[in-house]
Structure formats: structure tokens, C-alpha cells
Amino acid sequence: STIPEQVRDALICSVALQVFSRDVDAVSSLFGELRLIPQHILDDDEERAALAEALEITFENSLLYPEAAAGEDDTTAIPDLKFDKLLDSLSRLVPRFQFDLPPYFINNARALSTLEGIAKSLDPSFNVLTIMYPYALSRLLKNPSKSEVVARTLQSLIRSEDGKIDRTKIRRLLRDSALISGQSKRRVVWDVLKTKEGRILTRGIVSEEVGTYFGRNDGKRNAKSSSNKQRRKMKKKRWYYLDL
């Protein structure tokens, strides 16, 4: 079954948000783009909060995170997805939040469950998120569909709580995409720069960083200039009293 582009974009955003930042609230806000829950449910603050709480319990039951917060190479710790438990938990939320499950969702969920079972029979350590997460990062960085949802999600991943560009998060995002996919960071950056959306993203980050740098230096210069003026005034004042 064909999945609408809007839903595909929301899915890759959900994967990235949960694995990279474990942001359940942000994932719950995407259920409108996923076309799974009526908009009036999402517009109700109490229902949104209840959905986020239910999803948190769902992820606790279906995602098994490694004991360490991050790998030895400082990549994001990818949880082991228990797909059957995820589907079972989500099915329990259907009547509570008036889920509307389109045929493509049910068909693809069944197909994924079957394929995961086959993969695990061949390799018990197989984890579908090790495939989905790098793909999600690639789509986020390149944004081939020019989706506003994808662009907003990427911005939320690379910024700190105060809204400023976080270089550590950018390095971690690139490191994840490189190490997990088996490519070099240079290759990842080059692939991003080859796309129009990737170049727009890069120019925006560079422009903001340059503006922050010069703004910080201007502030230092202004503070220094103000301090010098104050010292000159105090010096004149002292000599004035000495003359008296």
C-alpha cells in the first residue's frame, strides 16, 4: 500500500525525535500529520497531555534502551524496538483516542511485523531501528520533499532549549548519520550539500553562527568602550577635586 508523503515525513520525524532526543511530547504532536487521530483531539490540551502520557508508557514497554546513555564513540544509543509490543500497545489506544487506521497503515504494519520476524529468525540481534534511524536522519538533513514539518523537526533537534544553535547536537547528528550508516562524516556533509534544502540549511546555520560571533564581539567592544569612558570620567573627577 502506498503511504502518503505527508505521513512518510511525519514517520521519519517521529523516529528521529524519539531516538535522538526522546521527545514524547513532540512525537504526540505529529499524530495529526500521521493522520491517525482526529484534529479535535489534538487541539484539546488535556487530550494531548493524556496522549503524550500514554505514548510514554507505550515506548517504555516497546523500546529497550542500552544501559549507557550513549555509545563509546558518543553516538546516540539506539533502543531495541519490540515491534509486536509496539503494535499491541498502540492497538489499546485506538478506542481511547479515536484512532482512524487507514488500510495502508494496517497493511504495512503487518508486513513490517512479518519481515522483522524473518530477520530475527536469521539474526536474533537484528534491530529494525538501526535501519530506520539512519534513513530518518538522511531524510531530515536533505528534506527532499521540502516539508515544513521535516524542517521544523530538524531545527528542534539542532537547537538548545534557549533556541540557539547547539554545535554539540549538530556534531552528534552528523556522527550518528556517519557511524551508523557506515559512511564518513565528510561524505554525509557532502551528500547534504548536494541538495538544495541541505544548502539552505547550511547557509542558515553559518549565517546565524557568524551573526552570533560578531554580535558577541560587538558586545565586548561596547562594554570595553563604556568601561574606558567611565574610567576617564572618574579620572577627570579626581583631578577636579585635587585642583580644589
Q: CA-to-CA distance for 29 and 36, rounded, in angstroms? A: 11
In tens, the pLDDT along 120-143 reads 899 988 998 988 998 899 899 889
pLDDT of residue 194: 76
pLDDT of residue 45: 92
Please tell me the predicted confidence (pLDDT) of residue 189. Answer: 78
Q: Is the pLDDT of residue 163 over 50?
A: yes
The grid coordinates of residue 19 equal 531516538
pLDDT over 90 (residue 83): no
Give the model's pLDDT for residue 151. 92
CA distance readout (Å), 31 to 10, 26, 88, 105, 185: 8, 9, 18, 13, 32
Band of residue 218 on the pLDDT scale cut at 50, 70, 90: low
The pLDDT of 11-15, averaged and rounded, is 94
Mean pLDDT of 204-227: 66
Q: Is 108 exposed, middle or buried (0-12, 13-18, 19+ CB in 10 A)?
A: middle
| pLDDT value, residue 51 | 94
CA distance linking residue 87 with residue 113, whole number of Å: 9
Residue 151 to residue 197: CA distance in whole angstroms: 9
User: Following CA atoms 141, 27, 133, 73 in sequence, which dihedral angle do they give, to the nearest 10 degrees?
Assistant: 90
Report the distance separating Cα 207 and Cα 70, nearest Å: 30
Q: Can you spell out the DSSP letters for 128-171?
A: THHHHHHHHHHHHHH-TT--HHHHHHHHHHHB-TTS-B-HHHHH
Q: Which of 7, 30, 27, 5 is nearest to 102 (CA)?
A: 7
For residue 159, list its beta bridge partners. Answer: 165
> What pLDDT digit, counting tens, does each position of 31-40 carry?
999 999 988 9
Place of cell 516497546: 62
Mean pLDDT of the chain: 82
Report, in angstroms and rounded to the nearest whole number, the Rg of the chain calculated over CA atoms.
25
The pTM of the full predicted model, rounded to 2 decimals, is 0.76
State the average pLDDT over residues 80-103. 89
Q: CA–CA distance from 95 to each of 42, 91, 92, 150, 194 (Å)?
A: 15, 8, 7, 29, 45
Looking at the predicted structure, is the pLDDT value of residue 162 above 90?
A: no
Task: Report how far apart the first and last C-alpha atoms of the chain are (Å, whole number).
Answer: 94
Can you say how many angstroms the Cα of residue 115 is from the centroid of all Cα atoms in its chain? 27
